[in-house]
């Protein structure tokens, strides 16, 4: 065996080594691509799930907002009605002289006794 034979064997061995390394790298990359593709699918599923939840939360928030606005309008209407009733009561009290006078204890006692007798008679 001479040097040229060794060189040819070395070159062939080097080429074989490079091919084996290239195949290993390609296999590694292929496995990594499959792994990343699976992760991507899982993340897409999670994204769709989270997007669906977000839509549901927006719908719930709209319903709550509508309910709050309705309650605020209702409260405002009731407060206005209460104000009108109070004004009417003030006018009635101002026109009735006895309405502003305190009721004597004897009258209150008599009313309570009457109510108690009626309650026990039934």
Using an 8 Å Cβ cutoff, are 39 and 45 in contact?
A: no
What pTM value is reported for the model? Answer: 0.49
CA–CA gap between residue 66 and residue 61 (Å, rounded) = 9
Q: Give the pair of three-digit tokens for residue 14.
A: 């080097």
User: In a 3-state reduction of DSSP, which class is residue 101?
Assistant: coil
CA–CA gap between residue 67 and residue 61 (Å, rounded) = 10
2 phi-psi bin (left φ>0, alpha ψ -120 to 50, beta other): beta
CA–CA gap between residue 83 and residue 42 (Å, rounded) = 61
Q: Tens digits of per-residue pLDDT, 58-99?
A: 999 999 999 999 999 999 999 999 999 999 988 887 777 776
What is the pLDDT at residue 105? Answer: 85
């Amino acid at each position: 065996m001479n040097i040229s034979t060794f060189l040819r064997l070395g070159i062939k061995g080097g080429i074989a080594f490079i091919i084996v390394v290239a195949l290993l790298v390609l296999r590694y990359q292929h496995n990594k691509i499959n792994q990343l593709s699976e992760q991507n699918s899982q993340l897409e599923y999670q994204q769709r799930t989270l997007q669906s939840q977000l839509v549901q939360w927006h719908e719930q928030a709209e319903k709550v907002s509508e309910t709050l606005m309705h309650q605020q309008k209702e409260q405002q209407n009731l407060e206005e009605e209460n104000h009108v009733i109070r004004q009417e009561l003030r006018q009635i009290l101002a026109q009735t002289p006895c309405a502003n006078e305190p009721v004597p204890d004897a009258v209150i006692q008599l009313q309570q006794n009457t109510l108690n007798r009626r309650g026990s008679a039934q």
